Amino acid sequence: MKENRIKLVITFFIFMFFFSCTVSKSSSRENGDYDNIIHNAIYDFKMNNKKLLKRDSVFHLILFKEEYKENEFVKIIIIGSNKQFLYNKYKDPNENKFPSGYLDSDNILFFWYDDNKQIDSLTINTFKKYNLLVDDENGKIKFLDNDKIDDRKKGVLYFFCKGNIKKFEKSISNESSKYPKRLKCE
């Protein structure tokens, strides 16, 4: 009786292990549109870069759209950011020049520029939550001096195959390369 109970418990844990692996793999998407590519990059980043997640709570996701047209892969960089953006509450939200794409998950913010998404009150409130917006004092401030990049700061560089974005290459680095080293998109 005790042996059967032990076998049952072991079988249960083995089943749960395989089920959890299946769930995490199914969370990544195959279709190669920008939203799915961004989803996969953020998902992989959160699952596999705990060290970088401890250093920052805000991450800038840079999608290289110009390279998308001419290559069989899509390039994305995710890097910690302390950038702030000018905001005028009297302007139409979309006249403000800050990113409209974002994902706020587990007190971590990922943001990117998204041509297909409008800035709304939820976007503004989320950016305020992370202290990313600076009141432009009715146009008195012309720019913020926070575009300086720390060349020592590491991020994750991703290359996703357009045809199957579950197939990708990544590297943790403070340098950006133009082409993947080992990725074959066929």
Whether the model pTM is above 0.85: no
Average pLDDT over residues 125-143: 80
Of 3-7, 48-52, 171-175, the range with the highest mean pLDDT is 48-52
Residues recorded for the chain: 186
Q: Give the span between the Cα atoms of 178 and 159, in whole angstroms.
A: 10
Radius of gyration (C-alpha) of the chain in whole angstroms: 20
Please write the tens of the pLDDT for every residue from 52-67. Answer: 999 999 999 998 876 5
* Confidence bin at 25 (pLDDT 50/70/90): very low
CA nearest to 178, candidates 106, 77, 93, 32: 77
Q: Is the pLDDT of residue 176 over 60?
A: yes
Query: Counting beta carbons within 10 angstroms of the beta carbon of residue 114, is it exposed (0 to 12), middle (13 to 18) or buried (19 or more)?
Result: middle
φ and ψ of 84, to 5 deg? -120, 160
Q: Give the span between the Cα atoms of 151 and 79, in whole angstroms.
A: 11
Neighbour count for residue 170 (Cβ, 10 Å): 19
Looking at every residue in the chain, the average pLDDT score rounds to 78
* Confidence bin at 78 (pLDDT 50/70/90): very high
